Structure 1
Amino acid sequence: MALLRIRSRATALAILPAAAAVVLLVAVAQGHIGPGVWSTVSWAVAACAVVILLLAAAVAVAVARARPAVSPTVPLTEAAAPDLYRLVRDLADRLDVPAPSAIALTPDCDSWLEDRTHPANRPGAEDPGEGSGRGRRAPAAPVLVIGSPFLWWMRVAELRAVLAPVVAGTGPSANPDIAAARRFVRGLDAAVADSAVPGQGRIRRIPAAFVGWIAKLLLRGCRGHAAEMERCVAAAASGRAQEVDYGLRIVAQEQVGLAYAGWDRLLTRVALPAWRMGRWPSRLDAGVVSALTELSRRDRLAEGFTSRLGERPACDLIEEPGAADEAASLLAARLFHGGPAEAGPGWSPVDWQQYPEEVVDRKWRTEAARLHRVLDAMGVASSVTVGAPGSTAPGGAPVPTLARVIDHLASPGADSEALAAGIGAAVARDEEKAAPGPRVEGSPPDAGAGTDPLDLWGPVPLPLFPLQPPRTGTELLADHVVAMVCCAAVDTAGAAPGLDWLDGPALLVDGGRRSDLGAPVLSLVEEGDAEPLRSWLTAVGVRTDKPVRLG
């Protein structure tokens, strides 16, 4: 294969000076060339060969020892999911390929095979690849990584159809040449990553930079061949998988797209507000079913999908789906937002039943309190519409009323940008206080193995995959004004906090969700026009002059 030829050429290039030195030294020893200049040249070539061999050996050792990237996942043992392992093995038998060595869950709508045979990824295991036969040994089967939302949304037959082309990929993975080529490319990629790790001393940085430079040169030559190899492997796996549930797979692919849409909305609209409050929903995968059911109800294109819910869900293949859901939910929170590996005082799980009170109401009141703190710092007095009596708290501080916020933003010459900047600075300070400490590099490999899926990523800061870019000052100000309006509606108009599975925190008035608050608030924040918001407040029955309870 082309990748192995590149590896062989690199090896030959490193050995070439040594071969030339041997030829010259033998020629001098046998008298074919005379002493003097040729003898000096021979020893000079031999010295260069030794240096090049030492450098090549150092690069080879660094590439071999570099730890390839491993996706953060939740391991799923056979004891925890015997039915799922049985389904995968039956699928492998039907496809006539080796069964995956293990199964793991990832909080994403995707599935793939992952090679985890590197010694650094298997703490305590001996490296069976040491020795001259390392490139030709029979490789261990890769790990099957399954997107956890698939298990809760898909039915058993649909999951089997979706996994068929993935499991079929274990066939090419068992080919020694393909396995050796993949190890070569992954080792080069890991060496490049290791050379870019910050915080290395000068003694380590210079050799690491040299190894990284060599690895980049080889990767540049391998890139096109590696992509072509993977395309061929995928085509072969897809062709083999057509023998199993091909018709059902076409239908199941529709569920993949639907699951991705629901999962994205659940993370960005529902989970993210809770993560920002230091709470992580412990049943995200169960929540995606509710989100997709709601999407099916609203979207005509999704009609009929809910009829599948009467069939056996794939999560029934797990002995304790609740525990697996909780582990995947915590990993999702850490990947997409950042947070400690375990629950604590400022980082605790929350059930969906508790979400309106523990997250929505708390979020509104925390943001309302922050808004009034910034107004206090700016010297904004209580609204004149409150009236002189009771316009100030007993301690002399302005009363936290909605009228104070509206009148300030609607007054001529109001500096909404200064208010937005103040809120942005306050949010940044609060997030910095709540941010977890940096993870320490250099812990023993077995210390976190099996406990923290992110240990193999070293000191990379969290989150690894932020869901949204930082919010602008105007967006933060609008969110805080919405929170203040919702607090006033709850305290004075009998409204209640609620949860919308597709849009997150919701204001419930007379049992129904009010989704028309955003436009009036934006008119106030961006244009200083308070009339649309005042009309909305009058229709709902909100008293702007009454103090609200802050968080």
Structure 2
Amino acid sequence: MTGTGGELGARAARSRALAVLRVRSRALAVALLPAAAEVILLTGAATGQFTGQGWDTARWVVGVLAVLVLLAAGGIALVVARARPAASPTVAVSERSAPDLYRMVRDLADRLDVPAPSAIALTPDCDSWLEDRTHPAHAPPVTRAHDEPVVPGARPERRPAVPAPVLVIGSPFLWWMRVAELRAVLAPVVAGTGPSAQPDIAAARRFVRGLDAAVAVADAPGRGPLTRGVYAALGRVARLLLRGCREHAALMERGVATAAAERAQAVDYGPRIAAQEQVGLAYAGWDRLLTKVALPAWRMGRWPSRLDVGVAAALTELSRRDRLADGFAARLGERPACDLLEEPGVVDEAVSLLTARLFHGGPAESGPSWAPVDWQAYPEEVVDRTWRAEAARLHRVLDSLGVSPSLDPATPDPGGPTLARVLDHLTEPVAGTAPTVPAPTAPLDNENGEVGEDDEASASTPDGADADPDPATERSALLAAGLSAALAREEREESAVPQGARAQGPDSALWEDGDLPLFPLQPPRTGRELLAAHITAMICCAAVDTAGAAPGLDWLDGPTLLLDGERAADLTPKVLSLIEEGDPVPLRAWLAESGIRPEKPVRLV
């Protein structure tokens, strides 16, 4: 150990690990107590000390109780030992695909005088940690040769579990950080393998993970009444033991972290301080990329196959725009950490697909309705298709409301959907004049003109108790309710379509994927947000078809409209003025200035 703080941290961690193990020992003692009492009673009967009808009854009662308690304790111990602990969703990186990365990690372990991690895996997160996968259920299955016979009904063989923790690295770090920065950031993490190898700490961790897995097994649905009662008792016992060792386990992990941090101070301490700035920057860029760029693609059935390349581009763009980040751009000339991979594109694609599954709930493999898209094709494949799909939905809702295609008597049929139809419908009539737009009706749920029960509440007027609190005119509120109902109906139809068998990736068997997405990116959008997005999409379609504009991609803001090669001005205030006040003047002035003709029909999906 390099310092007194590290020695104290290691000692504190071991003492807390022993406290956790004492909880296990007490539980075992309680389970053996009836059996010990029965042994005493039987010994007394054999020696003639405990004789008589009362002692015979006591022996029978205590004996039956001892058997029941031992059976229950054995069952609980079996479940705790065999339950599969939770594992993080990761993409495994073999040594063959990243020899330089493994060499760097082993060199770190040698300099820190700790055991090297057994394997390396990547996760779509801006963090790094050690993960214990010593449980037999975490061992990868053995691959058989094509000519090797398979025994029907036999369980798949598994390789022996890995003896040391797995190093999990956040994939954005590899593409944004330089090699020296990544080594400095990973030093405290790799140093944690030293305390992890201590037998008492390892045993305490296995016990806590087993209890946590037993609670998950007890809470699993789909059991009969009798079995559910048995597992409910199991869950109560496991939770009781977890409460007894929770504080000790937390302090044990704190001591392990302290010891690892103290040990890592001897390796790249100076560069680590500078590299920590890149950790926060990478987190901000990753979050921005997922919410602004990846999410629109996922909603269109496309998944960007180079997300890590995208986060590097987004952070480079941030460095170019932000004067405070100018110093970060100078480091881009150094060797990036992704060069430690033999095929970074293949790894990036696997991580990108896993990201889509975790944050959006997409399928495990590509298909006709779930295809990869590269960044060059993103504007056409995602941005343009998103605009036209939302514009088509907007006009379908207008049709269900009975809105006329045109207010101009000279051109009652403009030959297609127009932006002018939307503007005229949402424009509030001037005081003292009769409205020229037909009175809106409730949005229709199907072709027969019936309103669905699920959509009646969402199609109510703003005067209702559950109406959208966002400010809007009556026409805007009704149109927003129709869009919300239409979008909810489409999502129900998509969820009702059965998906094919899910493919199993290298690490997908280690975690449950029944409740995807595990980490939803955004809460459901309000009616006003949906209406603003659909009107903006209609404006962009009109700009592309009538003014020669083009869809574009901004790494920090997502889909954008390009007019004469430049980003269009922010449309949000002008669109909100139309929605909230029924005032189209600011928006019409911008359309005229940009050369966009709202009366011309546009092409939809």
- Shared fold, TM over 0.5: yes
User: Are 1:388 and 2:403 matched, yes or no?
Assistant: no
* Gaps in structure 1 of 5+ consecutive residues: 129-138, 394-398
CA drift at 1:535: 1.5
Q: CA 1:227–1:516 in 2, change beyond 3 Å: closer, same or farther?
A: same
Residue number in structure 2 paired with 1:134: none
User: Are 1:253 and 2:276 matched, yes or no?
Assistant: yes
User: Are 1:483 and 2:537 matched, yes or no?
Assistant: yes
Q: CA 1:436–1:80 in 2, change beyond 3 Å: closer, same or farther?
A: farther
Q: CA 1:346–1:452 in 2, change beyond 3 Å: closer, same or farther?
A: farther
Equivalenced residues, count: 529
- What is the alpha-carbon distance in structure 1 between the residues aligned to residue 315 and residue 137 of structure 2? 39
Residue number in structure 2 paired with 1:426: 486
Match of 1:77 among 86, 94, 98: 94
SS in 2 for 1:506: strand
- What is the alpha-carbon distance in structure 2 between the residues aligned to residue 268 and residue 285 of structure 1? 14
SS in 2 for 1:428: helix
SS in 1 for 2:541: helix
SS in 1 for 2:59: helix
CA drift at 1:392: 5.0
CA drift at 1:435: 4.2
User: Are 1:47 and 2:69 matched, yes or no?
Assistant: no
CA drift at 1:457: 3.0
CA drift at 1:438: 7.6
Q: CA 1:314–1:537 in 2, change beyond 3 Å: closer, same or farther?
A: same
**What letter is aligned with 1:391?**
D
Q: CA 1:258–1:544 in 2, change beyond 3 Å: closer, same or farther?
A: same
Q: 1:172-225: per-residue Cα shift (whole Å, max 9, x none)?
A: 111111111011111111111111122223243222111111111111111111
Residue number in structure 1 paired with 2:454: none
Decide whether the 8 Å contact of 1:101 with 1:140 is kept in 2: yes
Q: CA 1:89–1:182 in 2, change beyond 3 Å: closer, same or farther?
A: same
- What is the alpha-carbon distance in structure 2 between the residues aligned to residue 274 and residue 453 of structure 1? 25
Q: 1:471-526: per-residue Cα shift (whole Å, max 9, x none)?
A: 11111111000000000111111111000000000001111101411111111112
- What is the alpha-carbon distance in structure 1 between the residues aligned to residue 137 and residue 418 of structure 2? 59
Q: 1:135-176: per-residue Cα shift (whole Å, max 9, x none)?
A: xxxx82110000010000000000000000000011111111
* Gaps in structure 2 of 5+ consecutive residues: 1-17, 142-156, 430-472
Aligned ranges 1:519-534 → 2 under 5 Å: 519-534=573-588
**What letter is aligned with 2:518?**
L
Q: 1:203-259: per-residue Cα shift (whole Å, max 9, x none)?
A: 432221111111111111111111100000000000000010000000000000000
- Using the size of structure 2 for normalisation, the TM-score is 0.85
Q: 1:44-72: per-residue Cα shift (whole Å, max 9, x none)?
A: 11110110111111111111111111111
Match of 1:415 among 468, 475, 480: 475
**What letter is aligned with 2:290?**
L
Residue number in structure 2 paired with 1:333: 356
User: Are 1:502 and 2:556 matched, yes or no?
Assistant: yes
- What is the alpha-carbon distance in structure 1 between the residues aligned to residue 503 and residue 54 of structure 2? 60
Residue number in structure 2 paired with 1:163: 186
CA drift at 1:321: 0.2
CA drift at 1:126: 6.4
Decide whether the 8 Å contact of 2:365 with 2:503 is kept in 1: no
Q: 1:433-481: per-residue Cα shift (whole Å, max 9, x none)?
A: 44497889xx9xxx966x2644433352211100111111111111000
- What is the alpha-carbon distance in structure 1 between the residues aligned to residue 222 and residue 322 of structure 2? 51
SS in 1 for 2:222: coil
CA drift at 1:538: 1.5
**What letter is aligned with 2:587?**
L
Decide whether the 8 Å contact of 1:439 with 1:461 is kept in 2: no
Residue number in structure 2 paired with 1:133: none
Aligned ranges 1:183-194 → 2 under 5 Å: 183-194=206-217
CA drift at 1:39: 1.7
CA drift at 1:120: 1.2
Q: Which one is further off, 480-489 or 42-51?
A: 42-51
Residue number in structure 1 paired with 2:138: 121
Residue number in structure 1 paired with 2:30: 13
- What is the alpha-carbon distance in structure 2 between the residues aligned to residue 494 and residue 99 of structure 1? 58
Q: 1:416-444: per-residue Cα shift (whole Å, max 9, x none)?
A: 2221121112222323344497889xx9x
Q: CA 1:408–1:453 in 2, change beyond 3 Å: closer, same or farther?
A: farther
SS in 1 for 2:603: coil
SS in 2 for 1:304: helix
- What is the alpha-carbon distance in structure 1 between the residues aligned to residue 523 and residue 179 of structure 2? 37
Q: Which one is further off, 300-309 or 14-23?
A: 300-309
CA drift at 1:383: 3.0
Q: CA 1:437–1:96 in 2, change beyond 3 Å: closer, same or farther?
A: farther
SS in 2 for 1:349: strand
Q: Which one is further off, 409-418 or 429-438?
A: 429-438
- What is the alpha-carbon distance in structure 2 between the residues aligned to residue 545 and residue 208 of structure 1? 67
**What letter is aligned with 1:253?**
Q
User: Are 1:302 and 2:325 matched, yes or no?
Assistant: yes
Q: CA 1:274–1:212 in 2, change beyond 3 Å: closer, same or farther?
A: same
Aligned ranges 1:59-458 → 2 under 5 Å: 59-122=76-139, 123=141, 124-125=157-158, 140-385=163-408, 387-389=409-411, 391=413, 393=415, 399-412=416-429, 414-435=474-495, 451=505, 453-458=507-512
Decide whether the 8 Å contact of 1:341 with 1:452 is kept in 2: no
User: Are 1:30 and 2:47 matched, yes or no?
Assistant: yes
Decide whether the 8 Å contact of 1:66 with 1:194 is kept in 2: yes
CA drift at 1:127: 6.5
Q: CA 1:448–1:356 in 2, change beyond 3 Å: closer, same or farther?
A: closer
Decide whether the 8 Å contact of 2:428 with 2:583 is kept in 1: no
Computed over aligned residues only, the root mean square deviation of the Cα atoms, in angstroms, reads: 1.8
SS in 1 for 2:551: strand
- What is the alpha-carbon distance in structure 1 between the residues aligned to residue 588 and residue 221 of structure 2? 54
**What letter is aligned with 2:311?**
V
**What letter is aligned with 2:420?**
A
Decide whether the 8 Å contact of 1:497 with 1:507 is kept in 2: yes
SS in 2 for 1:405: helix
Q: Which one is further off, 6-15 or 189-198?
A: 189-198
